[in-house]
Amino acid sequence: MKRRQFLAATAALPLAACDAARTIDGGFVGVSDARGHLLRAASWPAPATTRRTRVLIAGGGVAGLAAARALRLRSIEDFTLLELEDSAGGNSRGGEVHGVPCPLGAHYLPVPGDSAHEVQDLLEELGLRQRVAGRWVYDERHLCHSPQERLFIDGQWQDGLLPVQDVDAKTLADYQRFAQLVQQASNAAKFPIPVANRPLAAVHSALDAITFEAWLDQHNLAAKPLRWYLDYCCRDDYGAGIASVSAWAGIHYFASRHGFSAPGDEPLSERDAGVLTWPQGNGWLTQRLIQPLGERLRTGNVILRVAAGKHGVEVDAFNTSTQTVERWLAGHCILAMPLFVAAHVVENPPPALREAAARLRYAPWLVANIHIKAALHDRPGAAPSWDNVIYRPDMDGSSGEGLGYVDAKHQSLAAVPGATVLTHYRAFGIAPAQRKNLYGQPWSHWRDVVLGELSLPHPDLQEKVTCMDIMRYGHAMSTPGPGTRSSAALRALQGPLPAPWQRLHFAHSDLSGYSVFEEAFTHGHRRGMALA
């Protein structure tokens, strides 16, 4: 399919989707932006109730749940976890549509390397990892089944996401050159996950000083298929493309896990480690972290104020169930919330918190769960896969185009495919106008945009859709732009703070400058284990 044909085909799709989609049920679900915006209120009534707890955890995402688990491992049972939403889990929550479990955010966890030993221990505890005949193996029921990923390009599907069909000699040379540069960076310094496990090396600082796009320009890597693929990878992991993220982030995506293999290269051994995934995505993991908490987990609480003192911490929270303000008196407070929120609620915030919050930029996301009543007809090429992406060279990566979809029933062993849920993701970059656009458009607008895009590889999609639930994350993840990895303020917040803030402890993936499960879990675990 030529570019002109591609543009003509996609331009007509949203109108067709509009006509067919009027009978589709659905709406916006999940995260309540209105509840979060309660923090903008000018004043609040005095607390109606005062409660006490030894440790208060503010935020029930992966970091907060990891901190709670760490306290329990230390036999500290006197703690309370306050969560803004009606369910904990943050960006790793799961849901269901018409009885089919599906992710509401993150949908997989790469098999962790040895740097992420805290996550390895969790997986061992959950029975996903065990030692057999002297080596660690993972439960195959939870490893992503093949085929894992495919790309819709030139009117057909290909295996893998790197464009390889009919690419010219310059593109192949750029693939080879990029693979060499990734390997050189890996040889010069380790790129661990989590990042706090290694000191900042000189090569990291140099890469962190410029955008990934500028780094590609320096190395004359201009092939459009390569740039599209790298932009897709950055939007997928960081919420923004190569023009926004640092060169450190772009290299880290590959050097930290599986390298980059150009066509014809022997794949690296670590690449075969695979990923863990579930129908409800990482909600499978967070639900198991939630289960032991019982009444110590209190949802529907908006943190309004955190005041650190010499002998304790005061936390005021608005209880959305009772519609009253409650005051919590705690010996310590673990702030497992985005740093821009922490900077807003902490009285007299530490200078490092103010600096870090001012530096970070957040990317909004949209997650659409699309229930289909029957299997889709497929275009020629690669077989239906877990991860399915559309090659769109006409887009510049800044307007919120989709990242494809995953199939919630890919792990099913059913012989005949049937009804399922396709989870579609859109990343909007860091421009403030995109956040306004995400929330300014009605559900029907995003319904038609999603159907229009996915109908390109699946013309029968519209007739098989029964329901579409859409999640909007206004500040889904912090994006590692230039200077983020080198931030002294982020490093300062990871350790003990001086008086008068010594009873405040920060735990969130923001401290790493980007949002993945391993970073969030490790920060939460460490704060819980280090608490006096």
In a domain, 132, yes or no: no
Same domain, 344 and 438: no
**294-318 pLDDT per residue, tens:** 999 999 999 999 999 889 999 999 9
Boundary of a domain, candidates 253, 270, 287: 270
pLDDT of residue 22: 52
Query: Taking CA 76 as the corner, what is the angle to CA 72 and CA 82, rounded to the nearest 5 degrees?
Result: 75
The structural domain count of the chain equals 3
Read off the tokens for 374.
Answer: 């029957």
In a domain, 323, yes or no: yes
In a domain, 240, yes or no: yes
Residue 22 neighbours by CB distance under 10 Å: 10
Evaluate whether 407 touches 420 at the Cβ level (below 8 Å): yes
Question: What DSSP designation does 90 have?
Answer: G
Same domain, 492 and 425: no
Evaluate whether 488 touches 45 at the Cβ level (below 8 Å): no
Question: What DSSP designation does 403 have?
Answer: E
- DSSP reduced 3-state for 78: coil
Evaluate whether 211 touches 177 at the Cβ level (below 8 Å): no
Same domain, 304 and 402: no
Angle at which helix 224-238 crosses helix 169-188, to 10 degrees, equals 40
Read off the tokens for 162.
Answer: 């790197």
Nearest to 215 by CA among 257, 193, 185, 236: 185
pLDDT of residue 262: 86
Same domain, 474 and 366: yes
Cα separation of 270 and 98, whole Å? 38
Same domain, 65 and 211: no
Same domain, 377 and 393: yes
Same domain, 504 and 457: no
Cα separation of 62 and 477, whole Å? 13
Q: Please report, for the domain that includes residue 238, its CATH number.
A: 1.10.405
Show the domain range for 311.
34-86+299-357+484-530
Nearest to 447 by CA among 379, 501, 366, 386: 366
Same domain, 194 and 333: no
pLDDT of residue 393: 74
pLDDT of residue 199: 82
Cα separation of 178 and 260, whole Å? 8
Q: Please report, for the domain that includes residue 395, its CATH number.
A: 3.90.660
Residues in the chain with pLDDT values less than 70: 1-22, 32, 42, 266-273, 394-400, 415
pLDDT of residue 153: 95
Q: Please report, for the domain that includes residue 318, its CATH number.
A: 3.50.50.60
Same domain, 313 and 231: no
Largest Cα–Cα separation, the chain:
71
In a domain, 212, yes or no: yes
**460-505 pLDDT per residue, tens:** 999 999 999 999 999 999 999 999 999 999 999 999 999 999 999 9
Same domain, 178 and 253: yes
Q: How many helices, marked H, and strands, marked E, lie in the chain?
A: 17, 21
